[in-house]
Structure 1
Amino acid sequence: MSETYELKAEARERVGKGSAREVRRNGKVPAVIYGDKQPPLAIALSYKDIFYKIHGGGFLTTVATIDIDGKKIQVLPKDYQLDPVRDFPLHVDFLRVGKNTEVNVQVPVHFINEEKSPGIKRGGVLNIVRHEVEFHCPANAIPEFITVDLAGAEIGDSIHISAVKLPAGVKPVITDRDFTIATVAGSAAMKPAAESEEAEAEEAEGSTEE
């Protein structure tokens, strides 16, 4: 799970396009906190804080605490809008996080041990089908990423979600099939297995002689 952080905010009495434009003119970003069976709360956040959080990665998978004049609310960013030309934040939606809040989130996929994959060592290519996977999980236990181990993967192998060890309480949103995350495909530059093994043996022999 990503490390949580805190943001200072001001409550907004007025809402609407005119109010949002005024907030932006004052160097802040309009936002709304909703959910947990409470009325929506309009707030204004520091432009600098939000800009760096959005562009720093993991924004939509990290629970934050928003401090509004001393009142602290735990939230999860659910959506944000960026200016299409200048890429600066225009608006953010936050979901209140209670003790039992569960959410659907897109979690990045990380791959390890490519150097231990016989297929890749022979010139095979890792074909990533899903760079992110959507999971249903507790809001306070969102994984920062999931890890796919490629050790032992051969040409033609497919890595399915069932092969990935998931944290407790984290379940794929897709439940009707064992979907593919990545495959190891052949390529024109692929070496035959015998040739690859021979080259490795020669390399090991050469290093021994040294």
Structure 2
Amino acid sequence: MSDTTRLTAEKRTSFGKGAARQIRRENKIPAVMYGHGTEPVHITLPGHDTMMALKQANALLTIVIDGKEQLALAKDVQRDAIKPVIDHIDLVVVRRGEKVTVDVSVHLEGEAAPETVVTLDNNTLQLEALATNIPESVVVSVEGLEAGTQILAGAIELPEGATLVTDEEALVVNVTQAISAEELEAELAEAEAEAGIERDESDEEAAEGESTESAEGEGDKPEGSDES
């Protein structure tokens, strides 16, 4: 990834919750940019364009302030808990040729062997890469993998130019044998018994019980008896 998204920012002089609410009402986002020994710069960013840019993880941004450009990465994005809006952004200044450490998502592709379950134990890997060449994701193939297969971080092929920061022994993908419905039911019943939980009899179980009792009752009748 080498393209950047260009965002024109405005310097911000008013602060506090009231000022931030006013900024958001104007469809803008309050932000602060810092790094490389520079003084923090408080700015506002265009709401829609910024939200679109940040849909891509680790998006490299070109922030334009008073006609001057500065490369930056979003370090912390605070989002509203209910509304689909961004409350505030922390931006860290980066420079071309500089390496940065980022969390990159892991994507699985392919189908493992039949009757297996694939678990993604780590959905991101921490990588070091050039600020202008941060990979969008790390792709791991599980095609045909059998139960018992484990893929550690150190065994994953990384995008060109990226180096692994995550512990090489960290488990990323775990392939296990799928459990049958009967085994799952037995495990659930055992767990409930240990917890002292009494299960309600299902309609199917009740019908089977009645059928068994009926059959046993007929077997106890003396020979030659007449129900009429």
TM-score (structure 1 length as normaliser): 0.76
User: Partners of 1:7 and 1:182 in 2: how far apart?
Assistant: 38
The verdict on how the C-alpha distance between 1:27 and 1:62 changes in structure 2, with shifts beyond 3 A counting, is: closer
Which amino acid is the alignment partner of residue 127 of structure 2?
A: F
1:159 maps to 151
Which amino acid is the alignment partner of residue 16 of structure 1?
A: G
2:14 maps to 14
What are the within-5 Å matches in structure 2 for residues 61-80 of structure 1? 61-80=58-77
**Relative contact order, higher structure (CA 8 A, sep 6+):** 1
Q: Is the aligned partner of 1:135 residue 2:127?
A: yes
Do the aligned residues in 2 keep the contact of 1:24 with 1:30 (CA within 8 Å)? yes
2:34 maps to 34
Q: Deviation digits for residues 96-118 of structure 1, max 9, x if unmatched?
A: 1113533322111112232xxxx
* SS class of match (1:78): strand
Give the superposed CA RMSD.
2.2
Which amino acid is the alignment partner of residue 44 of structure 1?
A: T
Q: Is the aligned partner of 1:4 residue 2:1?
A: no
Q: Deviation digits for residues 136-180 of structure 1, max 9, x if unmatched?
A: 3332221111111224522100011122112355233333x5111
What are the within-5 Å matches in structure 2 for residues 19-168 of structure 1? 19-54=19-54, 56=55, 58-59=56-57, 61-114=58-111, 120-168=112-160
* SS class of match (1:130): coil
Which amino acid is the alignment partner of residue 5 of structure 1?
A: T
Identity %: 33
Q: Which runs of 5+ in 1 are unaligned?
A: 115-119, 190-210
Do the aligned residues in 2 keep the contact of 1:161 with 1:178 (CA within 8 Å)? yes
Residues paired across the two proteins, number:
181
User: Partners of 2:18 and 2:73 in 1: how far apart?
Assistant: 26
Which amino acid is the alignment partner of residue 109 of structure 2?
A: I
| Aligned residue among 169, 174, 177 for 1:178 | 169
Q: Kindly state the Cα deviation for residue 87 of structure 1 after the two structures are TM-superposed.
A: 2.9
